Structure formats: structure tokens, C-alpha cells
Amino acid sequence: MAKLNLSRTAFLTKDELDSGWTKVQQNLYYAPAVFYLTIPKNCSNWSIYDLGSFSQTLLLAATDMGLGSMVAYEFVKYPDEIRQVLPIPEKEAIAVGIAVGYEAKNHINNFKSERLSLDKVLQIFD
């Protein structure tokens, strides 16, 4: 995470840093809509894969409709506060938050975090 923060800090302009990246996060990136995906707390562990597949399909559908989307921890970081606004039962875990909207023409939207090379995350055995 520290490496991500360093690369993001190097990418942002002085004005963007001064205006407060934390404020942007706290305002949920100024997204006009956020989808919250929940999953029963007592479901099988395999259900999380289904939720991941559904999340990816939702992202692809948004892109197909000309919308930008992003998944961020900031959207689900405070489940108690989310439940004060949305009628999500306590038996449901708030698992995924996805921002959706038309992308702003803003420098920050060009930021791409560093990724590990494929050989670091994938092993194929014969």
C-alpha cells in the first residue's frame, strides 16, 4: 500500500495534492451513483466467487453503456454508516461498492496503479 501511495503522490499535481486527496475519497470520488453489493453473512464461501463474477459483469455492462466505474474500499469502509442511510439488514455483509457515472475530464482519471507482473501472480502447471 505504501508503494501505491508513493506512485499516486508522484502522479498527482501539486494542486490536486493541496486540494486534498483524502477529501476526494471521503466524498466517494464525487460519484453520482454507488452500487452496494451485499452477501448473506452465513452463505457458503463459494458464494463470494459468484459475487465477484456479478461485480465484474456489472462493471462490463456499465462500460458497454458508456459509463465509467470503479471498485474502491472507501465505498464499504464504514458499513454502520451505510446502514443508517440504506435499509441493508445486519444479516447481510456489505461486500462491494462500485461507483458509476460519466468520467470527468480530469488528470486524476489517467492514474494507473502499478501491477505485479503476471509471473508473480500466476503459475501454470503441466
pLDDT digits (tens, 9 = 90+) for 42-97: 999 899 999 999 999 999 999 999 999 989 888 899 999 999 999 999 999 999 99
Asked if the model's pLDDT at residue 98 lies above 90, the reply is yes
Q: How far apart are CA 73 and CA 1, in angstroms?
A: 13
Q: How far apart are CA 19 and CA 118, in angstroms?
A: 35
pLDDT computed for residue 1 by the predictor: 45
pLDDT computed for residue 87 by the predictor: 96
pTM above threshold 0.85: no
Average pLDDT, the chain: 84
Which range has highest mean pLDDT (37-41, 100-104, 108-112)? 37-41
Quickly list H helices, 1-126. 2-11, 14-19, 21-26, 47-64, 79-85, 118-121
The answer to whether the beta carbons of residues 41 and 95 sit under 8 Å apart is no
Cα end-to-end distance, the chain, whole Å: 34
